[in-house]
Amino acid sequence: MSTPIEPNAVVQLIEQYIDDEHRAAERADNKTALDEDGIYGLHNVAAKVYALGFYDGTCVANERHNRRRGRERENARAEAES
């Protein structure tokens, strides 16, 4: 499976977090700014989380569709029998 990408809104949230962390690291002696490897890893995790959410949403939509179609078939069968 290829590495998923996160949508622009997620990229912006991650980049804002990174900027906030860098500013915090400048103000505090006990805080270290994220390096490029850490930033890459953070984007990778965000992309995977987004992909999982997208997949779950797709599964939910499919389940709802299948259940609706099942009810339609049952209603059609009941009408045909009456």
Each residue's pLDDT tens digit, 4-57: 688 999 999 999 999 999 999 999 989 899 999 999 999 999 999 999 998 889
pLDDT tier, 2 (very low <50, low <70, confident <90, very high otherwise): low
Would the pTM of this model clear 0.85, i.e. be above it? Answer: no
pLDDT at 3: 66
pLDDT at 1: 53
List b or e across 52-71, with b for residues whose CB sees 16 or more CB atoms inside 10 angstroms: eeeeeeeeeeeeeeeeeeee
pLDDT tens digits, 54-67: 888 999 999 999 99
CB-count exposure of residue 11 (10 Å: 0-12, 13-18, 19+): middle
In this model, does residue 72 exceed pLDDT 90? yes
